[in-house]
Amino acid sequence: MNKHFLVLSMAAVLAWPAAAAQVPLRQAAPPDGWAAMAGGTRGGADAAAILTVTDAAGLRRALDPALPGSRIIQVQGVIDMSEGRPFASTADQARRGEVRLPSHTTLVGIGPNAGFVNAHLMVSRVSQVIIRNLNLSNPCDVAPKWVPDDGPEGGWNAEFDAISIVGARHVWVDHNSFTDAPLTDDTLPVEHGKIKQCHDGALDIRDASDYVTVSYNHFAQHAKTMLIGASDKATGDAGHLRITLSNNLFEHVASRAPRVRFGQVHLFNNYHVGDRKHPVYRHGYSVGVAKAARIVSHANAFEILGARDCKHAIGVFAAETDAGAFLDQGSLLNGAPLGACSAIGDPAWTVPYAFAPLPAAAVPAHVRANAGAGKPAAN
């Protein structure tokens, strides 16, 4: 097995911020997001007891779906889901690396250093889940597949997102940090003339998931970051994928921050930092407007080195029918108004909850100070 696809060791985890985090364990999703609608998102707030886990075995016991009632699970330290035994295959990684969260669960890290390596968190066909204050090394598929007809030159396809939200309702993802490090793309081999990409998404949301808020997270050093709606053919997503992204930091991610199909997605006060000549994660676009997307945007800040046009921030993916819509108010690209990309089509919906965005000029300092694991709970 190529050394680049060995599972991460505990010693390979980044040194995370030293600041202490105070995360209320029974806090519901804030009112300024889709997760607060239709009854709100409380996760495991009604749990009678709080469980603390320090290793993969203890986590699996705490997540046993046979256990009754709500649960609050605290993660202490860094949990290696491989337990020091390299994954033998994609199938082995799918089984041992999975962290499957049941309904009515809050999963939260203790302090600034808690998190996972060699893990993929799955929120599938459940409701009422909260994930907070975790450091997540984006999983590396031990056996990515070469697909010759993926694009004009072929491409590598990998399994496993750091977090997958699949057909789930009422989910809040808050104050987490996502990164490819230490297995950044420049450490991966080249085969078939392309980087042998072992990473999939950081956070993907699909299959008619609904009432989701993604707030105060830090996404760094990744290629395809967040997909909302997996396929143009997934017409069942229409009327669902109601998702809010607020106060997130997207730093040197190449694309999909997010890329949207079908969803009614609200973006406000997010901070995008990129470089169109970055040596590893060259910025292609930030927000992708794809089939039937309905995106409403307020006061986001884009700082993209080398971006000369709003199309370098907002990517439009044409479709045979309904190419999607994006409507912005008050966002800035390199200190100037977003420009022509401020209005692409008509989303035909209005934000149904109260929210009070900062002006875009104030977003960089606010998000830098508050986004990611180990940062003060600002919301």
Q: Helix (H, G, I), strand (E, B), or coil: what is residue 337?
A: strand
3-class secondary-structure state, position 264:
strand
CA distances from 97 to 114, 116, 123, 141 (A): 17, 10, 14, 10
Task: Count other C-beta atoms under 10 Å from residue 247's C-beta.
Answer: 25
Of the residues 96, 132, 256, 294, only one is catalytic, namely 256
Find tokens 């307020």 and name the residue.
298
For residue 162, the Cα-to-chain-centroid distance in whole angstroms is 8
Structural contact between residues 202 and 356, judged by C-beta atoms closer than 8 angstroms: no
Query: Has 96 been annotated as catalytic?
Result: no
The answer to whether the peptide bond before residue 258 is cis (omega within 30 degrees of 0) is yes
Q: Do residues 41 and 130 lie in contact, with contact meaning Cβ atoms separated by under 8 Å?
A: yes
* 158/198 Cα distance (integer angstroms): 5
Q: What is the DSSP string of 351-371?
A: --S---PPPGGGHHHHHHHH-
Transcribe 103-132 into DSSP letters: SSEEEEESSSS-EEES-EEEEES-EEEEEE
- Are 301 and 361 within 8 A, CB to CB? yes
Q: Are strands 115-117 and 135-137 parallel, antiparallel or unpaired?
A: parallel
- Concatenating the DSSP letter of every residue in 146-189 gives EETTSSTT-EEE----SEEEES-EEEEEES-EEE-TTS-GGGS-
Q: Which of the 8 DSSP states describes residue 36?
A: G
Pick from 133, 187, 139: nearest CA to 16 = 133
Q: Could you tell me if 52 and 375 are in contact, meaning their C-beta atoms sit under 8 angstroms apart?
A: no
Catalytic residues: 256
